[in-house]
Amino acid sequence: MLDAAFRARLDGPLDRAVVPLERLGIAPNTVTAVGFTIGVTACVAIANGQWWLGLALWLTNRLADGIDGPLARRQGATDLGGLLDILADFAIYGGVLVAIGIALPETRVACLVVLLTYYLSGSLFLVFSSLATKRQLEGDGRSLQFPTGIAEGTETIASYVAILVFPAAAEVLLWIWAVLVAITVLQRLVIISRLLR
């Protein structure tokens, strides 16, 4: 829901931020790999109940995800880079939920339901992206096209920050997040159904 607005504000600063990386010859896939490694470390910290360390590492992972795209556009985006980027995103988003479930056993059912809603939402936007390419619909320059919804990347960051800052309320926050992602599933289903008519 908020991604487009945030992207419009951050595109310029992020594009300028990657100039030193480009000068050093650092490839976008390298940034993705480093970000993924940091994300895995965040998951380990969270699983061990090190909430603030996990949060700091996870936000660093999100920063890496924010700069690999602009760097790729400057150096020439590739399909492989887009694939690795989305795979790393999915792995860390899911990994954080697994880590929370390990640290807080009472949240496991909520974590599983969130994973289910992620699975459904992700399936729908992958289908949408394929159909949009087939029908030559104009995108926003990313490797995959995402139908808008109430729960996008910005909202995911906000939700995870809230959960990691307030782990005592994690179960309630996870259920709220599951509902929001489920609403997004319905929104994307309506958008794709209209596209298929």
The DSSP annotation for 35-94 comes to HHHHHHHHHHHHHTT-HHHHHHHHHHHHHHHHHHHHHHHHH---HHHHHHHHHHHHHHHH
Q: How many CA atoms lie within 13 A of 163 on its CB side?
A: 29
Please say if the pLDDT value at position 46 is more than 60. yes
**pLDDT-derived band at 23, boundaries 50, 70, 90:** confident
Q: In the numeric block, which tokens belong to residue 184?
A: 């997004």
In the block, tokens 């995402």 appear at 146
pLDDT number for residue 187: 86
Residue 94: which of 120, 121, 67, 112 has the closest Cα?
112
Alpha-carbon 46 to chain mean position: 17
In the block, tokens 């309320």 appear at 169
pLDDT number for residue 111: 97
Of 42 and 146, which is predicted with more confidence? 42
pLDDT number for residue 29: 86
Distances 170 to 45, 46, 121, 163 between C-alpha atoms, Å? 16, 12, 22, 5
Distances 78 to 68, 144, 160 between C-alpha atoms, Å? 12, 12, 29
The rounded distance, in Å, linking the Cα atoms of 46 and 132 is 37
Q: CB count, 10 Å around CB of 163?
A: 25
Residue 162, classified by CB atoms within 10 Å of its CB into exposed (0-12), middle (13-18) or buried (19+), is middle
Domains of the chain: 3-196 (1.20.120.1760)
pTM of the model: 0.84
Residue 154: which of 62, 84, 37 has the closest Cα?
62
The rounded distance, in Å, linking the Cα atoms of 19 and 24 is 9
Of 39 and 190, which is predicted with more confidence? 39
